Amino acid sequence: MQNIHSHVWNQDEHFTPQMIAEAQIARGGEPVDLTVRFDALMQDVEPFEKVVIFGLKARLSGVWVPDEYVAALAAQDDKLYGFASCDPTQPDYVEELHDALEDLGLCGLKMGPIYAGFDPRDPRCDVAYRYCEDHGLPIVFHTGTTFNQAAPLGVSRPWLFDEVAIRHPELRMVLAHVGHPFSGECLAVIRKHPHVYADISAIFYRPWQFYNTMILAQEYGVTHKLLFGTDYPFARGQESIDGLRHVNAVIGTATLPRVSEEVIEGILTRDAFALLGIAE
Ligand SMILES: [Zn+2]
């Protein structure tokens, strides 16, 4: 099993107090300690052979995890693959990104348009897209809603990535959380573009939405484009696996369509690293 969406950060160093306070509504009021401790992370990733870890850079929302921090953690265990992050609204972002991808051994990129307040079609992003496309590096985008008051929902919509994929057909992209709650839009985008995928991280704990998203993916025939991720520390590894295996529990004995066993195990066994071209 692989996990292509796990976070590393320290809330006291990398978040503003407002961001920490707002994050507490991420899981419906369950308190979340955002600080990821290395031992706890390694325990959480026990079920997985390969794990992508990243922070996030988004000045607007008060998150800034340096690439060096991610690289240092990734260097501590062979199963961890670190991704850089960038905020294209910041003037020196291109230089920082080149340093991260060329000198720190990071093997992909994480971007959060809603957190940083930019449209994914913004021309300022083109340098990052072109670089990743030319070097075969995947980009994981946060898509769909979030808890921050300042984060503009307008730039969270999955359909915006259709234009990015048309302009950059070889760029490997992952639209995180199947664009929750705009999963229909997200599935429409991944269906069109051979190199655009979605990850199912952090949806299982909204069981009705998760079930409907999976059924919709099945009806559109795009379940082969769904990748497994957890969004740790917002969701844990084993509970995410269990949540997927129990996706049909929400309908009980009702005569409704079911997510097939084949689809569920397909997601859990998919070689996402190969599909995204993540280098060893
Ligand atoms: Zn995330």
> What does the pLDDT look like over 222-262, one tens digit per residue?
999 999 999 999 999 999 999 999 999 999 999 999 999 99
Q: Six-digit token pair at 153?
A: 């929902």
pLDDT at residue 233, as a whole number:
93
User: In the chain, which ranges are continuous DSSP H helix?
Assistant: 11-14, 17-23, 38-44, 67-74, 93-103, 113-116, 126-135, 160-167, 183-192, 207-220, 237-245, 261-269, 272-276
Cα 235 to middle of ligand 1, angstroms: 10
Cα 109 to middle of ligand 1, angstroms: 12
Interatomic CA distance for residues 100 and 119, integer angstroms: 23
Q: Please tell me whether residue 7 adopts helix, strand or coil conformation.
A: strand
Cα 95 to middle of ligand 1, angstroms: 24
CA distances from residue 150 to 38, 91, 197, 249 in whole angstroms, order as listed: 30, 20, 27, 36
Longest dimension (CA), the chain: 56
Cα 170 to middle of ligand 1, angstroms: 24
Cα 227 to middle of ligand 1, angstroms: 14
Cα 166 to middle of ligand 1, angstroms: 25
Q: Which helix (H) or strand (E) holds 79?
A: none
Interatomic CA distance for residues 226 and 177, integer angstroms: 10
Cα 176 to middle of ligand 1, angstroms: 7
pLDDT at residue 32, as a whole number:
77
Question: Could you read off the pLDDT of 83-119 as tens digits, one per residue?
Answer: 999 999 999 999 999 999 999 999 999 999 999 999 9
Question: Could you read off the pLDDT of 187-221 as tens digits, one per residue?
Answer: 999 999 999 999 999 999 999 999 999 999 999 99
Cα 130 to middle of ligand 1, angstroms: 23
Cα 179 to middle of ligand 1, angstroms: 12
Cα 23 to middle of ligand 1, angstroms: 12
Cα 142 to middle of ligand 1, angstroms: 7
The answer, yes or no, to whether residue 27 has pLDDT greater than 80, is no
Return the bridge partners of 18, or none: none
Cα 110 to middle of ligand 1, angstroms: 9
Q: Which of 28-32, 42-46, 133-137, 148-152 has the lowest mean pLDDT?
A: 28-32
Interatomic CA distance for residues 135 and 176, integer angstroms: 22
Cα 256 to middle of ligand 1, angstroms: 31
Return the bridge partners of 81, or none: 52
Q: Please tell me whether residue 91 adopts helix, strand or coil conformation.
A: coil
The answer, yes or no, to whether residue 279 has pLDDT greater than 90, is no
Question: Could you read off the pLDDT of 252-271 as tens digits, one per residue?
Answer: 999 999 999 999 999 999 99
Taking each helix axis as running N to C, give the angle between helix 93-103 and helix 126-135, from 0 to 180 degrees, rounded to the nearest 10. 20
Cα 255 to middle of ligand 1, angstroms: 34
Give residue for tokens 């919709």: 216
Mean per-residue pLDDT of the chain: 96
CATH of domain 2-276: 3.20.20.140
List, in order, residues 6 or more apart from 279 with CB less than 8 Å away. 107, 136
Give residue for tokens 């844990």: 236
* Amino acid identity, position 181: P
Cα 85 to middle of ligand 1, angstroms: 12
Q: Return the domain boundaries, the chain.
A: 2-276
Give residue for tokens 């692989």: 2
List, in order, residues 6 or more apart from 270 with CB less than 8 Å away. 2, 224, 226, 227, 228
